[in-house]
Structure 1
Amino acid sequence: MRAPISVIIPTLNAGPALPACLMALGEGLQEGLIRELIISDGGSTDATLQTARAAGAEIVTGPASRGGQLRRGAVRAKGDWLLFLHADTCLAPGWAAPVLAHLTTETAAAFRLRFDSRHPMARLTESWANLRSRLFDLPYGDQALLLPRALYHAAGGYPDQPLMEDVALARALKGRLTLLPATALTSADRYQRDGWLRRGAQNLTTLARYATGTPPETLAQRYTKRP
């Protein structure tokens, strides 16, 4: 029986973070869960692709747009299940057992968020993200997403857009999402750089504007101009 999961990671100059992300997948390899690793790159100029090749990944290239990169990666996937994972996120030890249990279902799942920071605001932000995921079926991409390939395609997959691609797919999966008893440890660099309160407020504002119809391309222009 072939391993069930295709792991898909979008990258763009992810050289510093990618090795730790890939190392954390070793647990899934040992348990026979991972069939293939697909790196969907948006034009990296650092060591990202060298790291990917050394790990035996299949590499897909195209324009830099996380939604588009995720979509291209999914097209190449052969596993019955897809695990979408950001390069600056590591699945915490012990993740394989909850994932194995979830494979008996036909639903999608996200991981519980945790930041690699001891800042008090990190705990508050994590709590909100996990509450949002439970109450509103709205996990973000840094929580990773695991779902059957058939369900991914039935939901329309990731849209080819530069921002809010995770929200768009979560909306399409509403009512078919659960939160796993497993943790995704993600980088707090952006919050530490911008400030926890400022970054959190900007994220909420961006979500609200997207929900009221602002095009993702317009939101992305402002997003990339953040300090």
Structure 2
Amino acid sequence: MQPSRPTVSIIMPVLNEAETIAEALVPLQTLRAHGAEVIVVDGGSCDATLAQARAGCDLAISAPRGRACQMNAGALHARADILLFLHADTRLPEAAIPSIRYALGLGETWGRFDVRITGAHRMLRVVAQMMNWRSRLTGIATGDQAIFCKRDAFRSVGGYPEQPLMEDIALSRALKRITRPVCLDRRVVTSGRRWEKHGVWKTIALMWRLRAAYALGADPVSLARQYGYGP
């Protein structure tokens, strides 16, 4: 007998997350028990990320490094009609799946959650609020906001452009041509570790500069190097 079709496919791109991936998957086990599938896509880790992930997901696969490539690979294996792209350091709110299904069941095509960034620095709360406001104003979502969409819409726009940075903005622009996103006010919680590691103010300035450069047509490969992504 074939297993029942999942309601939502949660796709998580990972790289060198062996120490944290098992913990990241724990909150998703209740969702799996209620019909969601979890797909972990490794981008060529040099540690035991895949081995640590297998017990906590429905499918663990490898793909070329890069979030866009990895998420596209996960989408190809997804069995549900709804795709949810979740970073490994982001936690979903309670009732995330019913909220998504309700919104898309009303005829919406795609959307995202509001976000809260954890960390000691007070400015992280301001950063999160600015991200949420900007997203509502522009109709552009970031990966930290856990983008979700109907699988047919994702396929119709060609998935994520396989570029090393700003792939979330590019996907948002493509989906926005179909319809604006539904913005769920339930908050996902994402880690502020990168912000605090590199300096909150410095990271804010860097991200605004990179986003402005991308809007003006800068090469995502060059921007990725400036952001700190290695080859």
TM-score where L is the length of structure 2: 0.90
Tell me, yes or no, if the aligned pair for 2:25 and 2:57 is still in contact at 8 Å: no
**CA–CA distance in structure 2, aligned partners of residues 23 and 215 of structure 1:** 37
The residue type equivalent to 2:172 in the other structure is A
Aligned equivalent of 2:223: 219
Question: Structure 2 matches for 1:9-24, cutoff 5 A?
Answer: 9-24=12-27
2:70 alignment counterpart: 69
3-state SS of 1:173 partner: helix
Q: Which is further off, 81-90 or 58-67?
A: 58-67
Partner of 1:24: helix, strand, or coil? helix
| Structure 1 residue 47 displacement after superposition | 3.0
Show the 5 A alignment for 1:121-200. Answer: 121-174=123-176, 175-200=179-204
Q: How many residues align?
A: 224
1:112-148 CA deviation, whole Å, 9 max, x = no partner?
Answer: 1111224210110010010011111111101111110
1:28 aligned residue (28, 31, 35): 31
Shift, 1:54, TM fit: 1.1
On the 8 A contact 1:74/1:82 being kept in 2, the answer is yes
Instruction: Give secondary structure in 2 for the equivalent of 1:82.
Output: strand
Q: Which runs of 4+ in 1 moved over 3 A?
A: none
Assess if the C-alpha contact under 8 Å between 1:21 and 1:91 holds in 2. Answer: no
Residue deviations 1:86-125, cap 9 Å, x none?
1111113342332232241342111111112242101100
Structure 2 CA distance for partners of 1:94 and 1:78, relative to 1, 3 Å: closer
2:149 maps to amino acid: L
Residue 61 of structure 2 corresponds to residue 54 of structure 1: no
Gaps of 5+ in 2: none
CA distance in 2, matches of 1:192, 1:8: 26
Tell me: CA distance 1:16–1:114, structure 2 relative to 1, closer, same or farther (3 Å): farther
* Partners of 1:111 and 1:17 in 2: CA distance: 23
CA deviations over 1:41-97 (Å, ceiling 9, x no partner): 111122311222111431221221111111111112121110111111111334233
Partner Cα distance (1:40, 1:92) in 2: 22
Cα separation, partners in 2 of 1:225 and 1:46, compared to 1, 3 Å: closer
Give the partner amino acid of 1:85: L
On the 8 A contact 1:90/1:184 being kept in 2, the answer is yes
In the alignment, structure 1 segments of 5+ residues that lack a partner are none
TM-score when scaled to structure 1?
0.91
Amino acid at match of 1:5: V
